[in-house]
């Protein structure tokens, strides 16, 4: 935790993956615990498959909504290359929770650019801790690729300065209000993400 007691979490991915929603749920959990919070995006025309980076800062009092490069406590990458793109935002030795799924954009498909060979290795080479797992496969196994953001939230659950249950409550509250039939499957996705991150953490140590 930095000196001003503000926690900085950066959630990154591409438009349509639910990055902004996940960050908002995280913010709601922080608020439920009495924190001040600010959430901001660099999204551009994100609905069209562009880069999304969502900043969440919470603590006793938050001023600027933006996380400065080199000060993020946690980076959550919803996509491999996006995790790599933003890893410089982490404080030295900071933790990356990373979905190993690759979403290849048209500029790569038509041969203008290369997709990095091994984003995971590149991030590790910069001295960051990485817990990597395939959140997309987990979501598809549960029947819906859109569960990916709840899987990623589950993965964060044991890396926050508050109990996992607070985050789970925030997720279930949101779905309870909007899509009650989705509550159970989101609970499962949360637990599956949490377990995957735990396993990835053990692998990272081994």
Where do contacts with other proteins occur on this chain (CB under 8 A)? 14-15, 24, 27-28, 31, 36-51, 62-66, 68-71, 81-82, 84-88, 102, 104-116, 122-123, 126, 136-137, 140, 145
Is 23 or 186 the residue whose CB approaches other proteins more closely?
23
What's the CA gap between 111 and 134, in Å, rounded? 25
Tell the smallest beta-carbon distance from residue 151 to other proteins (Å). 15
Contact status, residue 163 vs residue 17, Cβ threshold 8 Å: no
Closest CB to other proteins among residues 124, 158:
124
In three-state secondary structure terms, 74 is strand
3-class SS letters over 18-45: CHHHHHHHHHHHHHHCCCEEEEEEECCC
Q: Are 169 and 126 in contact (CB under 8 A)?
A: no
- The DSSP output letter for 102 is -
CB-nearer residue toward other proteins: 71 or 158: 71
Q: How far is the CB of 82 from other proteins (least distance, A)?
A: 8
Contact status, residue 186 vs residue 150, Cβ threshold 8 Å: yes
Our CA dihedral for 18, 161, 131, 103, rounded to 10 degrees, sits at 10
Identity of the residue, 81 or 197, whose beta carbon is nearer to other proteins in the bound complex = 81
Q: How far is the CB of 132 from other proteins (least distance, A)?
A: 14
Cα(92)–Cα(71) distance, integer angstroms: 8
Which residue, 137 or 183, is less far from other proteins as judged by CB? 137
Judge whether 76 and 156 are in contact, CB under 8 Å.
Answer: yes
Q: Please state the closest distance from residue 123 (CB atom) to other proteins, in A.
A: 8
Q: How far is the CB of 163 from other proteins (least distance, A)?
A: 20
Q: Which residues pair with 54 in a beta bridge?
A: 11, 41
Of the two residues 12 and 152, which places its CB atom closer to other proteins in the complex? 12
CB of 111 to other proteins, least distance (A): 7
């Amino acid at each position: 935790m930095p000196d001003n007691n503000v926690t900085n979490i950066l959630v990154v991915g591409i438009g349509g993956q639910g990055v902004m929603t996940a960050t908002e749920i995280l913010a709601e959990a922080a608020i439920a615990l009495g924190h001040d919070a600010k959430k901001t995006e660099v999204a551009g025309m994100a609905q069209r498959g562009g880069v999304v980076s969502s900043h969440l800062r919470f603590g006793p009092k938050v001023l600027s909504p933006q996380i400065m490069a080199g000060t993020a406590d946690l980076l959550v990458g919803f996509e491999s290359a996006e995790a790599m793109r933003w890893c410089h935002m982490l404080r030295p030795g900071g933790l990356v929770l990373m979905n190993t799924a690759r979403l290849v954009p048209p500029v790569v498909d038509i041969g203008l650019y290369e997709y990095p060979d091994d984003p995971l290795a590149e991030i590790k080479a910069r001295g960051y801790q990485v817990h990597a797992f395939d959140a997309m496969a987990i979501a598809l196994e549960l029947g819906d690729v859109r569960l990916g953001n709840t899987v990623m939230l589950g993965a964060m659950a044991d890396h926050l300065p508050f109990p996992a249950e607070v985050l789970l409550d925030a997720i279930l509250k949101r779905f309870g209000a909007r899509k009650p039939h989705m509550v159970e499957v989101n609970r499962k996705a949360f637990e599956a993400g949490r377990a995957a991150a735990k396993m990835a953490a053990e692998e990272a140590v081994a």
